Structure 1
Amino acid sequence: MTLCLPDSVFQGGRAGVAGISAYGERALRIGDEITRAGFDVQTVRLSSPALDEPVHREQLHTRAADLTAACRRAGVGSASLTALRPAALARLQPCDVADVLADHPSLFLSVVVADGAEVDHCAAAFSGAVIRELAGRDRDANFRFAAIANLGPNAPLFPGSYSDGGDAGVSVALQSAGALLAHARAAKPGDLAEATRLTERCLRAQLDALQEVLVPSCERQGLLFHGADPSPACAPDAGIAEFLETVGGIGFGSPGTVATCAAVTAGIRSMGRPTVGYAGLMLPVLEDRVLARAWQEGRIDADSVLAYSSVCGAGLDTIPLPGSTPEHEVVAMITDMAALSARWRKPLSARLMLAPAGSDPRRTEFRAPQVVNIDYPTA
């Protein structure tokens, strides 16, 4: 669950810290109500407004320190510092952004590389340099950074989340991959049309039940309900790829994968309710054991995952890159994602897990608990 903060709380120094903390406490009370109603709340997070005016390094550090202090004061675990629009980058260096994320391990951040039908190549190059800088500071820091394209405000999923700066409100996403898999095993859909209907039924039932509790809880706390992102988020022990293999009768990466992704995405997007975020199928390679194995075995790569993004909402999420990967290739992957997003005006992102230079060229060595480490495919 993500609380999207108003811009006003970032205008007042110490008073701003107190204001952010007070909002965080309200969000935690909502989380407690949802938990008492029988739902498992994995995280409560805060999300700050995007920045679209030039910002100095010192301003970014001050904002990060205030947000970190407010989270600590409220007992909130993590927050999105901002989404930096291209105009905000004019007075920043990539190392400034890397420094902030390295100094504040509870914060996430993104850079907007496409908004509409145009790719901002300078923002893409900036993002690639940030990824390189982060890999040199902390091997896990790129888990908290993304280049985003055509992603609207108030999305609940990190790292691309940012608020619209208006009245504070709550948005949610579901870790529903496990529930989808259980339904698929029980129902045994006979074709992709049935897979679409199964996806819709399962997600609709979960969201209906959650919103019955969440909407009145938000009202009691004086907060808006921005909506839900129906994208089925993975849990460490329940990924989405096994569900796709079950309903599609495929090995992930084999012929039929695109059709299966399209069928499931059709079910996700048939909710007929206010949605925020990606509202599509997510394929986080290193957060899903089946996807990680497919990558390790060479059945999928960045190009194929991007091809699947043409029919779903994946983008390039937790893509493992050896430390020897040239920066220009990192930038090219970001611009490919942004070009696809710009062409179809769909929300996509790139979260590229670049290993530090000189790290093991045979195997990933990330420490984040959500990440599945793999052997790099051999040429």
Structure 2
Amino acid sequence: MSPDPPGLTVRTVTVFLTEHDCHPTRFHDRVSAACALANDLRKDLTDSDIPVQTIRISLPSPAVFLNPSAALVSAKALDTSPIDFVSLGTLLPGAPPAFLTPSFFSSVLAATSKVSLTLTTTLPNGVPSPTAVSLAAHVIRRLASIHPSGITNFRFAALANVRPDGPFFPASFSSSSNSSAPNFRVALGIQAATLLHQQPLQRLTARIETAATGLRQACKRVPDVTFDFSTAPLPGWETSAAAAIARFAGGNRDSFGVSGTLTAAASVATAIDRAVFPKAGFCGLMLAVAEDNGLAICREKLSLSTLLMTSAVCGTGLDVSYSALRNHEIVCSR
């Protein structure tokens, strides 16, 4: 019997490798062990009637492989591992210069199909690095030419003050600890947009806490598992965060932006923040402009100012451009 009411779905089970795990003498064995753990957790959750969409592993940084050639070889090996997706980690502004080139990013992502790679554009004090920001722009342009649709950019992200050990890709990367602990850190990314449709807003915090308890019971082989209950949507009304917010605001599912939207969005973000459970990653309200049905259906009446206003209380995917405004088209610019 499921430890949680129906409707709970795990978007990703992400297992984290440390720098110690990536040493050449143990890398293959640790990757195999991480993949085995991820597959075992998927079975445990499925046996508890909790669907799992993907399993993933996340590394600290390609710089742990000492040189770009070794990193590329490792990326190709990871691409053939029994796992759905892999993050090679993030490169910091102070990484070895040989890694900080558009050609390195393009060589890794062109040679693989399930590997992600990121660049951190902020310094340790949180201030943006102009050099890293410029590099990110050049990388995005280079990656756009690899595939006619530009889809390679979905496996790259320019990060700013993003914390490690989050389960969602492409922003996921493992903390840089050189720990030799035998146990892996694990984080689950939850399809939390679905949870918004299952109860009144005032019960959301308790619903999340109940879900976290059920998930921990199902993942007994990992006592310190953490969770990201971000409301990342998927195509469809029942996985639309915007549709749920519109309903909380007193409107229909296709009326995002009506009076009360900002208050409803803030209330959802607060409800997630108040929930008590081991947290990882962003763990908040995210409105993905290019992916959420509840936003797409409102494209003719949504304005950039409305989205900017909403971003004051939650994450909003403003990496889009309003080109061809006369046709009310939303075009992804990544």
TM-score category, normalised to shorter length: 0.7 to 0.9
After superposition, the Cα gap between the structure-2 partners of 1:206 and 1:312, relative to the gap in structure 1 and judged at 3 Å, is same
In the TM superposition, residue 304 of structure 1 has moved relative to its aligned partner by: 5.1
- Structure with the bigger RCO (C-alpha within 8 Å, sep 6+) is 1
Distance in 1 of aligned mates of 2:130 and 2:95: 14
The one-character-per-residue Cα deviations of 1:87-140 (angstroms, maximum 9, x if unpaired) are: 126223113202211221101121112354311222122112111111111221
Alignment correspondent of 1:280: 284
In the TM superposition, residue 272 of structure 1 has moved relative to its aligned partner by: 2.1
Please tell me whether the aligned partners of residues 212 and 277 of structure 2 are also in contact (alpha carbons under 8 angstroms): no
Normalised by the length of structure 2, the TM-score is 0.81
Structure in which a larger fraction of residues adopt helix: 1
After superposition, the Cα gap between the structure-2 partners of 1:174 and 1:120, relative to the gap in structure 1 and judged at 3 Å, is same
Q: How does 1:318-333 map to 2 (within 5 A)?
A: 319=320
1:109 aligns with 2:109: no
1:297 aligns with 2:300: yes
The one-character-per-residue Cα deviations of 1:17-73 (angstroms, maximum 9, x if unpaired) are: 23212221122111101110111111110010136789643243123123224x2xx
Alignment correspondent of 1:12: 24
Please tell me whether the aligned partners of residues 80 and 158 of structure 1 are also in contact (alpha carbons under 8 angstroms): yes
Please tell me whether the aligned partners of residues 52 and 86 of structure 1 are also in contact (alpha carbons under 8 angstroms): no
Q: How does 1:14-33 map to 2 (within 5 A)?
A: 15-33=26-44
Partner SS for 2:86:
strand
In the TM superposition, residue 278 of structure 1 has moved relative to its aligned partner by: 0.5
- The answer for unaligned runs of 5 or more in structure 2 is 1-12
Alignment correspondent of 1:340: none
1:123 aligns with 2:132: yes
Partner SS for 1:43:
strand
Alignment correspondent of 2:329: 375
Q: How does 1:64-83 map to 2 (within 5 A)?
A: 64-69=75-80, 71=81, 75-83=82-90
Q: How does 1:264-275 map to 2 (within 5 A)?
A: 264-275=268-279
Alignment correspondent of 2:194: 178
Decide which of 83, 91, 102 is 1:84's aligned counterpart: 91
Aligned residues: 304
Distance in 2 of aligned mates of 1:254 and 1:56: 53
Q: How does 1:99-178 map to 2 (within 5 A)?
A: 99-114=107-122, 115-138=124-147, 139-164=150-175, 165=177, 166=179, 167=181, 168-178=184-194
Distance in 2 of aligned mates of 1:96 and 1:321: 31
In the TM superposition, residue 84 of structure 1 has moved relative to its aligned partner by: 1.1
After superposition, the Cα gap between the structure-2 partners of 1:202 and 1:300, relative to the gap in structure 1 and judged at 3 Å, is farther
Partner SS for 2:170:
coil
Partner SS for 1:182:
coil
- The answer for unaligned runs of 5 or more in structure 1 is 188-194, 323-360, 363-373
- Point out the more displaced range, 98-107 or 254-263: 254-263
The one-character-per-residue Cα deviations of 1:246-303 (angstroms, maximum 9, x if unpaired) are: 1023532455433222111000100122211012111122221122334x426144x6
Partner SS for 1:232:
coil
Distance in 2 of aligned mates of 1:50 and 1:315: 25
Partner SS for 1:172:
strand
Distance in 2 of aligned mates of 1:86 and 1:298: 40
Distance in 1 of aligned mates of 2:198 and 2:243: 10
Distance in 2 of aligned mates of 1:11 and 1:135: 32
After superposition, the Cα gap between the structure-2 partners of 1:28 and 1:259, relative to the gap in structure 1 and judged at 3 Å, is same
Identity of aligned residues (%): 27
Please tell me whether the aligned partners of residues 14 and 58 of structure 2 are also in contact (alpha carbons under 8 angstroms): yes
Distance in 1 of aligned mates of 2:103 and 2:258: 40
Distance in 2 of aligned mates of 1:171 and 1:50: 18
Distance in 1 of aligned mates of 2:40 and 2:64: 34
The one-character-per-residue Cα deviations of 1:177-209 (angstroms, maximum 9, x if unpaired) are: 1231132xxx4xxxxxxx3x2321222222221
After superposition, the Cα gap between the structure-2 partners of 1:113 and 1:255, relative to the gap in structure 1 and judged at 3 Å, is farther
After superposition, the Cα gap between the structure-2 partners of 1:125 and 1:290, relative to the gap in structure 1 and judged at 3 Å, is same
1:262 aligns with 2:263: no
The one-character-per-residue Cα deviations of 1:201-244 (angstroms, maximum 9, x if unpaired) are: 22222222111222x2215xxxx42x111212323322211011
The one-character-per-residue Cα deviations of 1:293-332 (angstroms, maximum 9, x if unpaired) are: 34x426144x654543332234546x3687xxxxxxxxxx
Please tell me whether the aligned partners of residues 22 and 64 of structure 2 are also in contact (alpha carbons under 8 angstroms): no
Please tell me whether the aligned partners of residues 45 and 79 of structure 1 are also in contact (alpha carbons under 8 angstroms): yes
Distance in 1 of aligned mates of 2:257 and 2:205: 23
Alignment correspondent of 1:204: 209
Distance in 2 of aligned mates of 1:321 and 1:9: 44
Partner SS for 1:44:
strand
After superposition, the Cα gap between the structure-2 partners of 1:376 and 1:26, relative to the gap in structure 1 and judged at 3 Å, is closer
Partner SS for 2:229:
strand
Normalised by the length of structure 1, the TM-score is 0.72
